[in-house]
Structure 1
């Protein structure tokens, strides 16, 4: 099935409103994220492989900020242990509704429970794998520590957290370089300068990136025994943290 093309910002918008995961974004989300996030397909695929490696019989896996369920599907397709369960959480009713219809077409046996809720209101428990793929960046910075502590508390020993984020750089030159490379990446994928500019204006106060060091410090403070980057392309990175 062909993805619906993302043309949300293709024409001038007189009054740009803050970016939100509403029905218009849900409709074009697969196209939007693949054309906007370098390495997205790889990150999703490897998320599934990591879930397959770290789950055992009866394990719980969480997909926090599941959107249309790409990470949940990848985990479902790689989990071979019996009695496992995936819990997908998203605060967008439109995302959850479409996610459910997509998951219904998948025949893998691991059950997926979908919750329409704020990830900050979820109590993680008995988890072997917790995934936040491009979710934490939309949480207010002051509230991020509490979410990571909640995840750590709910992970079983030997469990892992996979955290994928758009990141910033402490060095201003490197930060600007990676922003420009990201914009070139989007233009190479067919977005116009107008689309890039309008999307950036709409999302700049909604998506707040942090440096990799800030992520590492937060993860260490929560109690994780180790953490490092396993994937990075420009200003997009994915970390794995071990309990």
Structure 2
């Protein structure tokens, strides 16, 4: 499974993430622009514990839930790691994959990479706000660290749209950064996440500046908040299947 991330990192640009290595006098909000897209494989590998494992398992789960002549959605697809993982595993005939992101920079790099693959499964790239997207004939969908960037007041509607456009028996994978209900536990896991970043070569300045830039646009919630929202949308089975520090992934089945 880690081979997928290695392949993505080696095929895409080898640029190192040093966006926050120097002091920023006017620190702007984090955006998925050209600068981030260029270093994203390095950034995600060094910033999100368990990311490679989640990506590999997304492919395995997609293989289980994809049905003939249905649609699969990678919502917030970034550089296409989840799309690639699913494409490598899904064998159901007639499947169409949709890689959806609101960043043109991400989608362009993703398309350039996916176009080099020899696969019978077509991937259609869509630049759109996923909160406004119409989901239909869906057997499997992925929100991989995406919902956390959607405004809080649009999250329930976004999940409901996915549920409404999903076929019976379909599944959604939702991966998110979490905040813990217990403040002491929350502080512990946040601190250990920072240690994880230091172990991967980020300086205290980089960690501090990235946190300031992203905390205004990435609004984490508790695991229970996600479970409640998925249940309220109508999913009959909802379970957390993975966690590493304060990063987790859930499966919801219709």
User: What interval of TM-score do these two structures reach, taking the shorter chain for normalisation?
Assistant: over 0.9
Aligned to 2:208: 197
Match of 2:94 among 77, 80, 83: 83
Corresponding position: 1:107 with 2:118: yes
Q: Which runs of 5+ in 1 are unaligned?
A: none
**Correspondences of 1:136-215 after superposition (within 5 Å):** 136-215=147-226
Q: Which residue of 1 aligns with 2:234?
A: 223
List runs of 5+ in structure 2 lacking aligned partners: 1-9
| Partner Cα separation in structure 2 for residue 208 and residue 56 of structure 1 | 34
Structure 1 residue 3 displacement after superposition: 2.8
C-alpha displacement of 1:105: 1.2
Q: Distance in 1 between matches of 2:67 and 2:106?
A: 29
Alignment of 1:56-71 (within 5 A): 56-71=67-82
Partner of 1:95: 106
- Residue 4 of structure 1 deviates from its aligned partner by 1.5
Alpha-carbon distance in 2 for matches of 1:28, 1:124: 30
Q: Helix, strand or coil: the match of 2:74?
A: strand
Instruction: Supply the distance in 2 between the matched residues of 1:171 and 1:187 (Cα, whole angstroms).
Output: 24
Give, in angstroms, the shift of residue 121 of structure 1: 1.3
Q: Which runs of 4+ in 1 moved over 2 A?
A: none
The normalised TM-score by structure 1 is 0.99
Other-structure match for 2:4? none
Match of 1:74? Answer: 85
Residue 238 of structure 1 is matched in structure 2 by 249
CA distance in 2, matches of 1:48, 1:98: 21
Matched residue SS, 1:162? strand
1:29 is matched with which residue: 30, 40, 50? 40
RMSD (Å), alpha carbons: 0.7
Could you say what secondary structure the match of 2:72 adopts? strand
